[in-house]
Amino acid sequence: MPDNQKTKHYRIGTYAQNMGVTPDLLKHYEKMGLLHAQASENGYRYYPFSESVPLLECFALRNYEMPLQQMHDLLYEGTLEDLHEALGERAQALERRMLRDQTVLREYQAFDRWMKSMEGRTMYMLMEERQDVYFLPHSKGRDFLEDSRIRDLLPRWIEWMPAVKSCRKIVYRENEDCLADSYWGLAVPVSAAEECGIPVNDVVERLPGGRQMICHYRVNIALPKRNTVWFRVKDELKKASLKPSGPVRQIVLASLFSPDSRTACGWFAIPLDL
């Protein structure tokens, strides 16, 4: 055992047990320079009791999700001002993650309510109040849109799914195949975009909300049959002599895939001048 008896030294297993961690964690922290052991003549490594002080500091910084190299630089080369600044940056990152987690939870709760409302139904239509949404197009037909403005935004928009949802924008034409010229993209309510800091630029379109006919659907389609939901919606509009006053948006809540079928659910938001 080391000759210095002023500070008690412990074998790695005992030290790890007393500190509530695993020996592997101690080895990793030692490798990163966060912990310092002393080697004896018999080859065993001993950890002095005094190393518990920086180790506890490491545990606190770990809960800020701070990288190990940054921990080392702060603990052994930094100032209190450096520490304060670094913790502020980590706190901002944690706040953003908390907001994202809360947003995802709200989306699940909304999906849960939607599923309960669809029990025993495949489709129903109802007038509802909806807010404006931002629409970011990314494809037309089966081709991606080649636009750097779209590619600049996509990573940040995808980061906030499922608050951001897959969306198709359909320009209604009564006697034509509207879907042939429809755009697929991503949509997010304006209030959610502002809350989450989702960026927009001049390629993003703001689709107006207000009182709209909402057609909720959940379907199972045997492949290769065509999805007939839109055509059913179109027939209902025609029977009622109604024409959309602007682009129709199809919001996709979920899609499930199997070799011979596809299950899809969501809604169509149809603006009407009533």
Phi, psi of 175 (to 5 degrees): -105, 25
pLDDT digits (tens, 9 = 90+) for 165-187: 999 999 988 777 888 889 999 99
Q: What is the pLDDT of residue 1?
A: 46
> CA-CA distance, 105 to 163, in Å (whole number)?
10
Q: By the 8 A CB rule, do 68 and 33 touch?
A: no
Mean pLDDT of 8-14: 94
Q: What is the pLDDT of residue 234?
A: 87
**Residue among 193, 258, 195 at smallest CA distance from 222:** 258
CB atoms within 10 A of CB 26: 22
The answer, yes or no, to whether residue 220 has pLDDT greater than 60, is yes
Greater model confidence, 43 or 5: 43
pLDDT digits (tens, 9 = 90+) for 18-46: 999 999 999 999 999 999 998 887 878 89
Q: What is the pLDDT of residue 24?
A: 96
Rg (CA), the chain: 29
- Note if the bond before 271 is cis, omega within 30 degrees: no
Q: What percent of the chain has pLDDT over 90?
A: 78
The answer, yes or no, to whether residue 257 has pLDDT greater than 50, is yes
Angle at 204 between CA 263 and CA 191, to 5 degrees: 75
Q: Which amino acid would we find at residue 39?
A: A
pLDDT digits (tens, 9 = 90+) for 46-79: 999 999 999 999 999 999 999 999 999 999 999 9
Q: By the 8 A CB rule, do 198 and 133 touch?
A: no
In the chain the first and final C-alpha atoms are separated, in Å, by: 89
Mean pLDDT of 148-159: 97
Q: What percent of the chain has pLDDT over 70?
A: 96
Write down the mean pLDDT value for the chain: 92
Q: Which residues pair with 205 in a beta bridge?
A: 135
Q: What is the pLDDT of residue 225?
A: 64
> CA-CA distance, 257 to 263, in Å (whole number)?
7
> CA-CA distance, 250 to 247, in Å (whole number)?
10
Please state whether 201 falls in left (phi above 0), alpha (psi between -120 and 50) or beta. beta
In angstroms, the Cα distances linking 95 to 67, 82, 99, 176 are: 17, 20, 6, 49
> The whole model's pTM is what?
0.82
Annotated domain spans of the chain: 9-78, 118-271
Q: Which amino acid would we find at residue 121?
A: R
Q: Which residues of 65-83 are buried (b: 16+ CB within 10 A; e: fewer)?
A: ebebebbbebeeebeeeee
Greater model confidence, 231 or 138: 138
Instruction: Say which CATH superfamily domain 118-271 falls into.
Output: Regulatory factor, effector binding domain (3.20.80.10)
Q: What is the pLDDT of residue 237?
A: 86
Q: What is the pLDDT of residue 5?
A: 55
Q: What is the pLDDT of residue 84?
A: 98
| Correct CATH for 9-78 of 1.10.1660.10, 3.40.50.620, 3.90.1150.10, 1.10.220.10 | 1.10.1660.10
> CA-CA distance, 4 to 94, in Å (whole number)?
43
pLDDT band at 117 (very low <50, low <70, confident <90, very high): very high
Mean pLDDT of 241-262: 91
Token pair listed for 170: 């359909």
